[in-house]
Amino acid sequence: MKQDVEAMTMMTETRSTMRFNWRLQMRAVFRLVLWSTLMAGPAVAQGKLQPMDVFNLEYAHSPQISPDGQWVVYARESFDVMTDRSYSNLWLVRADGTDQRPLTTGKYLDREPRWSPDGKRLAYVSNRDGSPQIYVRWMDNSQTYPITHVQEPPSGISWSPDGSMLAFTKLVPAPALTIGNQPAPPPGAQWAPPAKYTDKLVFRFDGVGELPTGFTHIFVVPSEGGTARQLSNGNFNYGAAGFGATPAAWAPDGQALVVAARRRADAELRMLENDLFEISVKDGTTRQLTDRIGPDTDPAMSPDGKLIAYTGYDDRKVGYQNTLLWLMNRDGTGKRAVSTKLDNSVGDPVWSADGKSIYLQFDEHGNTRVALMALDGSYKVVAKDLGTGGSAYGGGTYSVARDGSLALTVSTPSIPGDIATVRLGVQKTITGINADVLGDKTIGQVEEIWWNSSKDQRKIEGWIIKPPGFDPAKKYPFIIEIHGGPFANYGDRFDVEKQLMAAAGYVVLYTNPRGSTSYGEEFGNLIHHAYPGDDFYDLNSGVDAVIAKGYVDDKNLFVTGGSGGGVLTAWMIGHTTRFRAALAFYPVINWYSFSLTADMAPMSVSNWFPGFPWDNLQNYESRSLLSVVKNVKTPTLIMTGEEDFRTPMSESEQYYKALKMLGVETVLVRVPGESHGIRNRPSHWMGKMTTLTGWFDQHRTQTP
């Protein structure tokens, strides 16, 4: 009887899997047909983007091209309306865009796919058995096996050159700090949770929460499974600049790893500081390779093992400076900067197979690109339009095959996030994962615009999104949306939040004022020790430039932005009353309190300000939003996540109460469980957008 039940159960599960796979195949066919139609020419639109489309849109991440350049595997993020969570599965597609299919399914987080050197296996991290572990899949027969059984999540995985091992980073826990010997509760007693002790400068981090005690270290594990072996030791963080894992670089002979680590005694005070170390795989012997003050990261070993490429800079204690590509000999000698001919930051170096050049990623005028750079610093752009999906911020990822073919995530004003390949110099988008969502919708058309700042006539770049069905003879309400950072950039990338503003009937301007990256180091550093400040003129001139086009109702102007954009929103309404309403998402209001409470407080004091608040009171107060709050007459809503440790809730509460006591119409919105950005839960992300349009609609005047 037991065997019969098991057999019936297996048959039911098999049929269920077949039905599920059939639905996936039919959905993939439907997407492909719609995508082909979109690529072939304009479609007849039947609607606009709606807030619920937050749950429908999907995004591609982590594209990994196979060593022979024939296949691409990527992580595909989706959102479930019933559980209000995001999930990701792995998908496989030929490099020419054919034969796309899922490798994993289910409501799990499958991420960090990495091909083995021979292309026969695929490693990835997944939580499908509960806690995150490293899995290996044999591509010829689909057999999959978890090769780790660790208690803490692994990340930053990388294959050894011969495919026999994988390196990864994970936390090594340490006992929590306690002081005194409090008696234990008697059996059956229900005492309150114990007090939390810390002696760390940074004990909470945005998106992580309360930091666990311990340090991150480098491990290796046999690629067929076994016991993970710890290589690094000590009370230092390895493989991490801040709190994100950086994969270790293997030596070609597999005998050593090069990894970034924060081993200085004052590491807590120097958040950007880390050096490169070589670690013996045999016995963990460690040798330091760099020792300057500044970040050294992204190590990549040349194919012959003689050179190490990496990125970093000598920290001048300024707000922004270019991250450069560097080369050094294997023993740490002969260090030299390579990318000095490119006046922008670079990252993610990958050696070409012949060892004569290095691929790297950089932003230029709001567009993320991949360049192939020779060892003398000359370069050519080989890919463009990289994006993270769903946001106008710069970013994206790429990978390189042995023959020089590339796979990358792409985003354009009409593509939320897809996979492209570059083969023989030709870039081609090979997926269309949102064609089913966008196939019957009209999205806002995006137009690039440049203007001169009224401050000093500097050229400022921006982009206008027009409402679907735009009529230049009409007058539209207007929103200027300001990016955060402040050292970041917007660009010609799809942005679901701004598209929803346009779908609600607004002309939207987003822009890169002074301090934005991708326009060179001098432009990015114009706001050093002077932010917020003259960026007001860049932004205000942008509003004037769009009004001059004739289709904006200058009686219905609105301003918004998040993080640094929230800072500048409050700065704008502290200097002008031209806006009918404002919405500041998770702003910094009081730099004094921010520099003593935020997770990035050490960097703020060291790089954004000339020193401690009590020693530089005038500088802090002159840049505080409280210094201009008495000028504010604009109805203002402030919205922040209750678990935002980057710009803590106390900042928003200060501004809200100041406005309230000054008699300004204001609303404070606190979002439970959300960190910086308000995107942990799809419903909260959607609520962020509906709150914005609701607040601005409430304050619009109706004009004939």
- pLDDT per position as a tens digit, 409-421: 999 999 999 999 9
Q: Is 302 helix (H, G, I), strand (E, B) or coil?
A: coil
Average pLDDT of the chain? 91
Order of strands across the sheet that contains 121-126: 110-115, 121-126, 133-138, 144-146
| 15 pLDDT more than 60 | no
Q: Which residues contact 408 (CB under 8 A, 6 or more apart)?
A: 63, 370, 383, 386, 396, 397, 398, 399, 419, 420, 421, 422
Kindly give the residue spans of alpha helices, DSSP state H, lying in 588-648.
591-597, 601-603, 617-623
Confidence of residue 6 (pLDDT cuts 50, 70, 90): very low
Q: What is the Cα–Cα distance from 109 to 479, expressed in whole angstroms?
A: 36
Whether residue 93 contacts residue 75, with contact meaning beta carbons closer than 8 Å, is answered with no
Confidence of residue 273 (pLDDT cuts 50, 70, 90): confident
Q: Is 535 helix (H, G, I), strand (E, B) or coil?
A: helix
Report angle CA 328, 332, 333 to the nearest 5 degrees: 75
Kindly state the tokens that stand for 86. 């995001």
Instruction: Give mean pLDDT, residues 368-394.
Output: 95
Q: What is the Cα–Cα distance from 567 to 484, expressed in whole angstroms?
A: 8
Instruction: Give mean pLDDT, residues 61-69.
Output: 97
With 0-12 / 13-18 / 19 or more C-beta atoms within 10 angstroms meaning exposed / middle / buried, residue 697 is: middle
Confidence of residue 702 (pLDDT cuts 50, 70, 90): confident
- pLDDT per position as a tens digit, 626-640: 999 999 999 999 999
Instruction: Give mean pLDDT, residues 12-28.
Output: 34
- pLDDT per position as a tens digit, 459-504: 999 999 999 999 999 999 999 999 999 999 999 999 999 999 999 9
Residue 552 carries which DSSP code?
E
Q: Which residues contact 3 (CB under 8 A, 6 or more apart)?
A: none
What is the predicted pLDDT for the residue at 534? 97
What is the predicted pLDDT for the residue at 7? 33
Distance of CA 118 to the CA centre of its chain: 30
Placement of tokens 């030929």 in the chain: 94
Instruction: Give mean pLDDT, residues 282-301.
Output: 95
What is the predicted pLDDT for the residue at 9? 30
What is the predicted pLDDT for the residue at 23? 35
What is the predicted pLDDT for the residue at 269? 85
Instruction: Give mean pLDDT, residues 172-187.
Output: 93
- pLDDT per position as a tens digit, 613-669: 999 999 999 999 999 999 999 999 999 999 999 999 999 999 999 999 999 999 999
Instruction: Give mean pLDDT, residues 536-560.
Output: 98
Kindly state the tokens that stand for 454. 């009224």
Order of strands across the sheet that contains 101-102: 59-65, 71-80, 85-94, 101-102
Q: What is the Cα–Cα distance from 640 to 624, expressed in whole angstroms?
A: 18
- pLDDT per position as a tens digit, 131-175: 999 999 999 999 999 999 999 999 999 999 999 999 999 999 999
What are the chain's domains?
57-146+395-439 (2.40.128), 442-589+624-699 (3.40.50.1820)
